[in-house]
C-alpha cells in the first residue's frame, strides 16, 4: 500500500477564545507572523511536504480564511496596471499551482476529533496529514516534510512529539512511550490532557499528525473524552494494536501561537530568521 500523503486537513473552525480581543473579528489563523497569516505558514509547510489537496474544516463566521486562498481580482487588476510583478506573486498565498482546495464546515464545537471527522469525504479512506496552524515549528525542513519522509516506511498513525514541562501536561495529548528507534517512539497508550499526577510521561503531541484512513471509522463512533469533546487522541489510542502508532521527535523549535506570549515569541523568532541585518540589530537593541 502506498503511504504517500497528498491530502492535508486544517481544523480551523475553533473560536480562538484564548486570544481575545485580537480574535473577536479576525480568525486566529489569520493573525500574521511577520508577513503572512498563520494559516499560510501551515499551507506552505504542507506544500513543502508534497501535499496538493488542502482541506479546510471551517465555520461560516470565519470566511476570511477561504478569502485568503481565493482569487483577488481587485488587487490583481490594480497590481497588473501598475506593473507590480513582485506583489502580484505574493497574491498566490503559498499554494502550489496544482492545488485542490476543499472547504467543509464543522457545525458544532464538538472537539478536534469531530473536526477531523468532518473531512471524511475528502480523505477517501487514505492516510492524510493534519496541521494545527497555531502550532508553528521553525526549521529549514518543515515538520510535516520530516514526518512524511519517515511515514513512507512505517505507515499507521504518526504524531509529532516533544517533551514539555511536567506541570504542563494538562494542555496536551501525552504518550505512554515504548521502544525508541532513532527519532521514532513507539506509542503504547495515550492520555488527553492529563493532570501531572496522571500523565504517563512528559512526551506531548504537538499539532502535526499523519493518520491512517481507518481513523474516520473510529471517530464516527462519536465517543466523548476529556472536556466532554470527541478527541483525536482517544481515537488514535483505540486503534493501538490494530494500526501501528509512533511518536516522532521532530527537529526545530515549536511555538504555541494560540496564546499571546507564544505568538509574540514566534514573531520575534521568525523576524530574526527572515529579517535583514538592520532589522535584527534593531530588535536586539529593543531586547537589551
Ligand atoms: C490539541 C490536542 C492535543 C494536542 C494539542 C497540540 O489540543 O487535543 O492532544 O497535544 O492540540 O497543540 P488543543 O490545543 O486544541 O486544546
Instruction: State pLDDT tens for residues 4-56.
Output: 899 999 999 998 888 899 999 999 999 999 999 999 999 999 999 999 999 99
DSSP state of 165: -
Q: Which atom belonging to ligand 1 lies closest to the Cα atom of 233? A: 9
In a 13 Å sphere around the CA of 18, the CA atoms on its Cβ side amount to: 12
Q: What is the pTM of this model?
A: 0.96
Q: Which atom belonging to ligand 1 lies closest to the Cα atom of 112? A: 8
Query: Which CATH number is 7-259's, of 3.40.50.300, 2.60.40.3470, 3.10.310.10, 3.90.550.10?
Result: 3.90.550.10
In a 13 Å sphere around the CA of 117, the CA atoms on its Cβ side amount to: 23
On the question of pLDDT at 280 being above 70, the answer is yes
112 lines ligand 1 (CB under 6 A): yes
173 lines ligand 1 (CB under 6 A): yes
Angle at 134 between CA 178 and CA 68, to 5 degrees: 135
In total, the chain counts a number of residues equal to 288
130 lines ligand 1 (CB under 6 A): no
| Cα–Cα distance, 107 to 62 (Å, whole number) | 12
pLDDT score for 2: 63
Q: Which atom belonging to ligand 1 lies closest to the Cα atom of 173? A: 9
Please give the mean pLDDT across all residues of the chain: 95
Q: Mean of the pLDDT values across residues 267-278?
A: 91
Pocket test for ligand 1, best of 173, 211, 219, 233 (most atoms within 8 A of CB): 173
Q: Mean of the pLDDT values across residues 228-249?
A: 97
Which stretches within the chain are classed as H helix?
Answer: 38-48, 63-68, 73-81, 85-90, 112-117, 120-123, 143-154, 215-219, 232-239, 260-274, 277-287
Tell me the per-residue pLDDT of 160-194, one tens digit each, with 9 for 90 and over.
Answer: 999 999 999 999 999 999 999 999 999 999 999 99
Amino acid at each position: 500500500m502506498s503511504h504517500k500523503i497528498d491530502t492535508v486537513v486544517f481544523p480551523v473552525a475553533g473560536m480562538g477564545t484564548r486570544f481575545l480581543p485580537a480574535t473577536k473579528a479576525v480568525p486566529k489563523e489569520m493573525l500574521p507572523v511577520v508577513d503572512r497569516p498563520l494559516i499560510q505558514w501551515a499551507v506552505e509547510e504542507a506544500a513543502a511536504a508534497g501535499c496538493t489537496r488542502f482541506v479546510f474544516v471551517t465555520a461560516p463566521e470565519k470566511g476570511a480564511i477561504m478569502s485568503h486562498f481565493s482569487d483577488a481580482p481587485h488587487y490583481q487588476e490594480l497590481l497588473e496596471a501598475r506593473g507590480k510583478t513582485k506583489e502580484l506573486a505574493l497574491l498566490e498565498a503559498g499554494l502550489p499551482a496544482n492545488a485542490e482546495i476543499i472547504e467543509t464546515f464543522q457545525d458544532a464545537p464538538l472537539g478536534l476529533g469531530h473536526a477531523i471527522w468532518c473531512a471524511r469525504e475528502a480523505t477517501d479512506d487514505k492516510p492524510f496529514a493534519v496541521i494545527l496552524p497555531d502550532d508553528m515549528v521553525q526549521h529549514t525542513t518543515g515538520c510535516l516534510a520530516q514526518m512524511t519522509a519517515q511515514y513512507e516506511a512505517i505507515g499507521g498513525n504518526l504524531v509529532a512529539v516533544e517533551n514539555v514541562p511536567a506541570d504542563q501536561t494538562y494542555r496536551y495529548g501525552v504518550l505512554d512511550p515504548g521502544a525508541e528507534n532513532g527519532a521514532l517512539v513507539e506509542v503504547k497508550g495515550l492520555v488527553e490532557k492529563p493532570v501531572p499526577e496522571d500523565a504517563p510521561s512528559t512526551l506531548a503531541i504537538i499539532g502535526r499528525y499523519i493518520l491512517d484512513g481507518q481513523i474516520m471509522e473510529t471517530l464516527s463512533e462519536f465517543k466523548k473524552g476529556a472536556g466532554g469533546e470527541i478527541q483525536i487522541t482517544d481515537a488514535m489510542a483505540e486503534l493501538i494494536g490494530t494500526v501501528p502508532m509512533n511518536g516522532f521527535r521532530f527537529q526545530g523549535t515549536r511555538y504555541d501561537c494560540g496564546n499571546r506570549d507564544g505568538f509574540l515569541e514566534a514573531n520575534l523568532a521568525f523576524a530574526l530568521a527572515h529579517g535583514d541585518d538592520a532589522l535584527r540589530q534593531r530588535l536586539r537593541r529593543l531586547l537589551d
